[in-house]
Structures are given as C-alpha cells and as structure tokens.
Amino acid sequence: MRVADHPQAGRRGRPPGTSARELELISLRLFTEDGFDETTVERIATAAGVSKRTFFRYFDSKADVLWHAFDGEVRALRAALRAIRADVPMMEAIRQAVVGVNRYRAQDVPELRTRMNLIGSVPALQASAAQHYDAWERAISEFAAGRLGLAADTLYPLAIGRATLAVCRSAYEQWAERADADLTVYLDQALHAVSVGFDPSRLRQ
C-alpha cells in the first residue's frame, strides 16, 4: 500500500517527477517486452526519468506495480455488496456483486488482459498475489459473516471468501488466455458452479 496520486491544487513543495500510473504503464511495457525477472527496477526508473529510490517511494515492491489497479477495486466490491438487497440469497448476492464490478470498458480490456497474463505466468508475481487478494477475500468474508450471523474470522465466512476468490481467479485466467467471450460470462459461470456445490448434474454446459 503506497501510491497516493492526489493531484491537489495549492499544494506546496517540489512537484512529483512522475506518477504511479506512468510507472505502471512503463513497467507493463518492459515486463512484456523483456520479462519480469529480466527487467530491473533501475531500468523502469530510468525509463520514467527518476531514480530507483523514487520507484520504491511509489510502490513497496517491484511486483506491486502490477496490482495497483486491482487494489482499488476492493472498495468497489464492498460497495456493490452493500447495495444488494437483503432478500437476495447470499451466494446469489455475491455473484451479482462480483460480476457487477467486473464490467470493463472495451478500451481497458487489452491492458487488463496483459496484466493478467503476466500475473498468471510469472512465479514471482503469483507469489506477490497473496497479500493483495487478502483484502478482496475479507470483503466477501465479512459480507458472508453478516448474512450467517457469524464472526468474519470463523470457518464458513473464511471459506466462502477464499472459495469465491478461487473460482474467480480461474475465470480470470480462462478469460485471459482464451479470448472467446466476455469476462463476466466466465465469472458468472464460475460463481454459479460454486453456488451449486460443483454438482455435475447442475453445472452448465
């Protein structure tokens, strides 16, 4: 967690020499061109016209630069869950909320797909995923805890949060490598599957 990005008027001090977004775009390009491990932070920083030290003032690690966008969507997920009416069944509510916050504009799709392909193929990035997924899982867990009347750190809410993320990650990856359908279709299918307990006779074809 770093990255302020608050373009404030009337602020003092030396103006930023770059932005988190610029570092993100440069990193994305270099990672796809040369590979994640082969791209040093020094190179990214130089390409952005700043020093290596400055990069680490924007992001806590080299991997975090790719999770910038994802982190912001947790707030959207929480808001979507709050907006669901109380008479919608729990797993159906989760499905609606998750699918709702994953409707991307067409112009954002290529970058999203590039990012997910990197995350899905580079071990160092998969390793960095855990801490970023944590907040997402908790959002689901706390919603489930409220519905079930349990604490969020007990078995069922925890399991629901993680299982939900698990199937969504599968949907993301299928969508990222194949390009034959909308992301929401995959998510909807995956979340439907978990809500019927993966019962083969109830899985959609």
Chain position carrying tokens 């979340």: 191
Does 121 help bind a copy of itself (rule: CB under 8 A)?
no
- Region binding a copy of itself by CB under 8 A among candidate stretches 8-16, 48-56, 76-84, 119-127: 119-127
Residue type, 63: A
DSSP, residue by residue, 148-169: HTS-TTSHHHHHHHHHHHHHHH
Look at residues 6, 18, 25 and name the one whose alpha carbon lies nearest to residue 55. 18
Sign of the four-CA dihedral 136, 182, 99, 196? negative
3-state secondary structure of 11: coil
> Could you give the angle at which helices 155-177 and 123-148 cross, rounded to 10 degrees?
140
Closer to DNA by Cβ: residue 51 or 195:
51
- Region binding a copy of itself by CB under 8 A among candidate stretches 7-15, 35-43, 45-53, 165-173: 165-173
- Single residue of 55, 118, 128, 188 touching a copy of itself by CB under 8 A: 128
Closer to a copy of itself by Cβ: residue 48 or 190:
190
The token duo for 103 is 């409707």
> Could you give the angle at which helices 90-100 and 183-195 cross, rounded to 10 degrees?
170
Chain position carrying tokens 């083969």: 200
- Region binding DNA by CB under 7 A among candidate stretches 49-57, 68-76, 149-157, 176-184: 49-57
CA distance 191 to 185: 10
- Sketch the per residue contact string, 5 through 44, with DNA: x for CB under 7 A, - otherwise: -----xxxxxxxxx--------------------xxxx--
The token duo for 1 is 């967690």
- Region binding DNA by CB under 7 A among candidate stretches 45-53, 80-88, 110-118, 182-190: 45-53
- Single residue of 162, 179, 182, 188 touching a copy of itself by CB under 8 A: 162
Contact residues for a copy of itself, defined by CB under 8 A? 90-91, 123, 126-131, 144, 147-148, 154-156, 158-160, 162-163, 165-167, 169-171, 173-174, 186, 189-190, 193-200, 203
Contact residues for DNA, defined by CB under 7 A? 4, 10-18, 39-42, 49-54, 56-58, 60-63
